[in-house]
Structure 1
Amino acid sequence: MKNKRICLSAGILSLTSCVITANAAEVEKKQERPNVLFILADDYGWNDLGCMGSKYYETPNLDRMAANGVLFTNAYATCQVSSPSRASIMTGKYTPRHGVTDWIGEKWGEDWRKMNRHSKVLPAEYAMELSKDEYTIAECLRDNGYTTFIAGKWHLGEEGSWPEDHGFMINKGGWSAGSPKGGYFSPYKNPKLEDGPAGENLSMRLGRETVEFMKEQKKKKKPFFAYLSFYAVHGSIETTQENWEYFRNKADSMGIAKKGFAVDRTLPVRQTQDNPVYAGLIRQMDDAIGYVLDNLEKLGLDKNTLVIFTSDNGGVTSGDAYSTSLLPLRGGKGRQWEGGIREPLLIQYPGCKNPGSKCDVPVIGTDYYPTILDFAGLPLQKQQHVDGVSIMPLLNGGNIAERSLFWHYPHYGNQGGEPCSIIRDGDWKLIFYHEDLRCELYNLSIDISESEPLNIQYPEKVKELKGKLDEWLKDVGAKMPVADMEYNPKEEAKVKLKWKTKVLEQKEKERLNMLRKDWKPNKDWWGSMITID
């Protein structure tokens, strides 16, 4: 009997061990977290890609992502310039709440006079770095077992407020600068990114860094948050000789317009998508995205990874490199119209119910934080992402509650933007200008180009939306510009006349010159002739 008891006990222990092992495996399976790959382009316009209607730019990899996921037609950044919208992605808050309301490095207050713009108001003070009090999406995911990684642009403060100070465990290329200081080909002049071989392409390098990171995390069997934040397609724009020639010839075959610019209130605004250097820069970024997506599939990670692609603000139609046209949208980066704030948004995820579908529901940059947590099965941080909602229901064919969207930009953009606050409520959009306290009312369902204000026809709607906007500005503690007591209207008129004449003439010449068969770029970046496979 003693031997039988021993055998029976051993059998029970063996069975118990099997049950424990099975339960542990089941628990581990349930606890497995999906990965997140967030791809952010810089200054990339709403229709600067094929799947959004461009006939000139070629983006086969982004188009593939749209075919495999959901394309949002009414997606917005929280600001018309970069640092504020990037801070909103990290925090889930509107710009007045986190305090970064302009690109970090721009002048404000009395210092603005040094810009010699002779403006009516002095721009409001803003935070020069992302606050340590914010609990970023990277910190939240890191604290929940994720390995967090950034490759590329940060632009949310000087040293001490770099990615590693806000939850990123690995940083490849993120620092104070908002543009690629060394250009788009090595050497990069980036203290957080080692130089590659001479002529190595920056976008592809960031893609490769991201792939190497994903491979390492697969080996370790750890969930990851990869933030691939391209410097592309920010100016100064560069591409290879091969790309320039290809897109120069394409523009020629499509018919080169004699005039490519028109003045819209302040600066000349590009009216044509025919910039061969910009098109080549887009191709370089799309190639890098394709490399990352291909490897995601090869590694089998596509079955457990949420992929988001968007931009931080509108494409550059005026100012900077005057790179693109976003028609029928009005304006572009730095400006208060749709071209400045409406962005491309593609989301690809495992188990997509309607691949290739479009969603017209308005969403905004504050929504990414809660959406990522929702997808990962993690508790929402409602005290943090107070202005965002999870858009997972939209991805699954459902709806989210109706809401108004808001913007506050108490600054002047070097692309021609004016100090303003904005509300979108349904199809209605109201822009309030801080210079002269006027409003512009548009209905985007009938006038996506914002060509004709409807203030006279709908005075009650103006009053209603202005009231909602005022209430929101008060609630978020928005800082306001103030009148400049040294304002000189004659001097301002001289500046604006120069923009409308000399600058317009200069940009028309530059555009046509770049499309000449014998055009040559600045010699300081033609190391790009080196091709890296």
Structure 2
Amino acid sequence: MITGCLFMACTPRSKPVPSSPNIILINVDDLGWKDLGFMGSNYYETPNLDAFSKEGMVFTNAYASAANCAPSRACMISGLNTPEHGVYTVGSSARGDQRTRKLVPIRNTKYLKDSVYTLPEMLKSAGYLTASFGKWHIGTNPASQGIDYNIGGSDRGAPGKKGYFSPYNIDFIEDGPEGEYLTDRLTSEAITFLEENRDTTFFLYLPYYTVHTPIMGKPGLIEKFKDKKGNDGQNRPEYAAMVASMDENIGRILKTIDRLKLGRNTWIIFTSDNGGIRAVSEQNPLRAGKGSYYEGGIRVPLVMRWPGHIPESTVNTNRVTNLDFYPTIQEIVGPQQKAPHLDGLSLVSQFKDTTRVNRDLFFHFPVYLQAYDKTKDDGRDPLFRTRPGSVMISGDWKLHEYFEDGARELYYLKTDTGERNNLIDTYPEKARELYDKLVKWRTGKKAPVPQKKNPEYDARFEREILSKVAGAKP
């Protein structure tokens, strides 16, 4: 195992901060909203997380700030929505066949700029030791963005072919014994960190690469799930094995916290960076999955546990987002240097009072993201999980706007979480109200909207492809 000093930044050891909690932020990659037992799955087995959910607060209407990896993580770590940092997608913004794109998309910013005052940097200002074990993805080296101790994190977004078993394909990690499982290894590194720094106030970020593709579970667990009957679009043994390993390793972290007697002063946040891939695991009744701004692409599981501060066995139905983590943490730790601006809402008051909070959520995606599986994505059209557009949620109402054709969709989420009944013509006044809010927000954020026509667009070609896909559907 790698020793603790190998990837340690050259900074003085932090001193404990009186009354400030240790913070563990677990961010699972591509874990769907309903991929856990306590969230309603009858197929996946997550006994450790099911028990953990009863020890804190479950947020049933939690959202990622973006529908895929890099922008969601950039938002969470910066506390800023996508127009503020320009990270809209992974890699190029011109995804998909150019002959099916009507607009020239806004240029994507690949990484979060080092000038951004990140969540780890804010915590260092409050005296915290910061560590990350797993997928960083918003820069080449997290040391330049506030992380003192890093194992496995760089600009890589996935472990690569055969990457879940040693020898590994990721950076800042030494290979373990042949066949060692990456999720196990990252957890072991995190446990070593906890043991070595139990007397230091710390921020431990645990962004597992799992359950991102490639779908690779331990052979024994795959065999276990082969004979288990699937349910409601959740039936893939290899994926179930990955979920089970993730749950097992979170159980190891929780047991370590108890063994080190850190539980009373450790605040644990568990979430996912975006919705699950629908072709791998469906999130019914939510529509679509990762990469889409329908609910299945942005709704995520979220649980927080902090004994004495967050009541046990509590359900919070307010709409919250991972943009809220930064302002919540900042309010609690009281750093010497605060972030100059944050787009989220502190949740501190909701720890004691979960009364309905009226707020608006905004999502901006002025780029293209091609289909993952044309027959299973369940998006607006089968060629793209998302075409350029913006989305807003106000109360229980949700508005989609598409920049290519100016089309809008209006849904009432309270009775239509699956976004099947477009009410744009039934409630034109409500649609106008939300649209005016959305335009005002975009104007205030100087959010770029693509307007230049794509000269390579071929309407006839697009119709032919759509016709072929429609004919191939079961």
- Of the three residues 13, 38, 43, the one matched with 2:30 is 43
Separation of aligned partners in 1, 2:43 and 2:17: 46
Instruction: For 2:201 and 2:356, locate their aligned partners in 1 and report how far apart those are by CA, in whole Å.
Output: 28
Q: Which amino acid aligns with 1:97?
A: E
Match of 1:165 in 2: 144
Distance apart, 1:225 and its partner CA: 0.4
Q: Distance in 2 between matches of 1:331 and 1:446?
A: 17
Partner of 1:97: 84
Tell me, in whole angstroms, the C-alpha distance in 1 between the residues paired with 2:287 and 2:471: 21
- For residues 127 and 336 of structure 2, the distance between their equivalents in structure 1, rounded to whole angstroms, comes to 14
Name the counterpart of 2:376.
none
CA-CA distance at 1:353 after TM superposition: 5.2
Shift of 1:208: 1.1
Deviation, structure 1 residue 499: 4.0
Contact kept? 2:133, 2:151, Cα under 8 Å: yes
Task: Give distance in 2, aligned partners of 1:475 and 1:36.
Answer: 33
1:204 is aligned to: 184
> Counterparts of 1:25-64 in structure 2 under 5 Å?
31-64=18-51
2:308 equivalent to 1:326: no
Q: Secondary structure at the match of 1:326?
A: coil
Q: What are the within-5 Å matches in structure 2 for residues 151-162 of structure 1?
A: 151-157=133-139, 159=140, 162=141
| Counterpart AA for 2:287 | R
Query: 1:213 maps to what in 2?
Result: 193
State the Cα distance separating 1:350 from its structure 2 match. Answer: 1.9
1:343 aligned to which of 300, 318, 339: 300
Q: How many residue pairs are counted as aligned between the two chains?
A: 445
1:295 partner letter:
T
The question of 1:276 aligning with 2:237 is answered yes
- Is the 2:29–2:209 Cα contact (8 Å) retained in structure 1? yes
Contact in 1 for aligned 2:45/2:240 (Cα 8 Å): yes
In the other structure, the counterpart of 2:59 is 72
- The correspondence for 2:445, drawn from 473, 476, 484, is 476
Q: C-alpha separation between the residues in 1 aligned to 2:390 and 2:19?
A: 43
Q: 1:354 aligns with which of 287, 308, 311?
A: 311
Asked whether the equivalents of residues 167 and 179 of structure 2 are also in contact (C-alpha less than 8 Å), the reply is: yes
**Which of 330, 353, 359 does residue 403 from structure 1 map onto?**
359
Structure 2 residue aligned with 1:524: none
Q: 1:129 maps to what in 2?
A: 111
- 1:349-498 paired onto structure 2 within 5 Å: 349-352=306-309, 354-378=311-335, 381=338, 383-385=340-342, 387-399=343-355, 402-414=358-370, 415=372, 416-482=385-451, 483-498=453-468
1:410-464 alpha-carbon deviations (Å, 9 max, x no partner): 1222332222201100000000011110110001001111111111110001111
AA at the equivalent of 1:194: E
- Cα distance in structure 1, aligned partners of 2:336 and 2:470: 53
Residue 314 of structure 1: aligned partner: 275
- Which residue of the partner structure matches residue 132 of structure 2? 150
Percent pairwise identity = 39
Distance 2:471 2:145 in 1: 45
User: What displacement does 1:129 show?
Assistant: 1.2
CA distance in 2, matches of 1:211, 1:177: 23
Say whether 1:106 aligns with 2:126: no
Tell me, yes or no, if structure 1 residue 188 matches structure 2 residue 168: yes
* Cα pair 2:17 2:128 within 8 Å, conserved: no
Q: 1:426 corresponds to which letter in structure 2?
A: G
Report if aligned partners of 1:393, 1:400 keep a CA contact under 8 Å in 2. no
Indicate the RMSD between aligned Cα atoms, in angstroms: 1.9
Q: Do 2:93 and 2:367's aligned partners in 1 also have CA atoms closer than 8 Å?
A: no
Structure 1 contact 237–281 (Cα < 8 Å) conserved: yes
Match 1:230 to one of 208, 218, 231: 208
Q: Distance in 1 between matches of 2:101 and 2:467?
A: 14
Q: Identify the residue that residue 12 of structure 2 maps to in structure 1.
A: none
Contact 2:137-2:154 at 8 Å conserved across structures: yes
- Matched residues in 2 for 1:368 and 1:358: separation? 18
Amino acid at match of 2:228: K
Q: Which amino acid aligns with 1:226?
A: L
TM-score (normalizing by structure 2): 0.90
Q: CA deviation at 1:242?
A: 1.7
Give 5+ residue unaligned stretches, structure 2.
1-14, 373-384
Contact between 1:35 and 1:306, CA under 8 Å: does it hold in 2? yes
Higher helix share: 1
Counterpart CA distance in 1 for 2:314 and 2:357 is: 20
Alignment of 1:492-531 (within 5 A): 492-501=462-471
| Aligned counterparts of 1:206 and 1:38: Cα–Cα separation in 2 | 14
Q: Secondary structure at the match of 1:122?
A: coil
SS in 2 for 1:68: coil
Post-superposition shift, 1:122?
Answer: 2.3
User: Contact between 1:336 and 1:418, CA under 8 Å: does it hold in 2?
Assistant: no
> What is the TM-score with the length of structure 1 in the denominator?
0.80
Superimposed CA distance per residue, residues 246-284 of structure 1 (whole angstroms, 9 cap, x where no aligned partner): 112002xx57xxxxxxxxxxxxxxx61101111111111
Secondary structure in structure 2 of the residue aligned to 1:308? strand
Q: Matches of 1:29 and 1:136 in 2, distance apart?
A: 20
Shift of residue 493, structure 1, vs aligned partner? 2.5
1:377 Cα offset (Å): 4.3
Structure 2 equivalent of residue 300 of structure 1: 261
CA deviation vs aligned residue, 1:343-384 (integer Å, no higher than 9, x gap):
100101121453111100011111001111223344783523
Compare 490-499 and 178-187 and name the one that shifted more. Answer: 490-499
Q: 1:468 to 1:352 in 2, by over 3 A?
A: same
| C-alpha distance after superposition, 1:315-364 (max 9, x if no partner) | 000xxxx2100000001100120001111001011214531111000111
Looking at structure 2, the residues matched to 225 and 498 of structure 1 have their Cα atoms a distance apart, in angstroms, of 51
Q: CA deviation at 1:400?
A: 7.7
Whole-angstrom distance in 2 between the partners of 1:40 and 1:212: 19
- Secondary structure in 2 matching 1:250: coil
Does the C-alpha gap of structure 1 residues 497 and 172 become closer, same or farther in structure 2, counting only changes over 3 Å?
A: farther
**Structure possessing the higher radius of gyration over alpha carbons:** 1
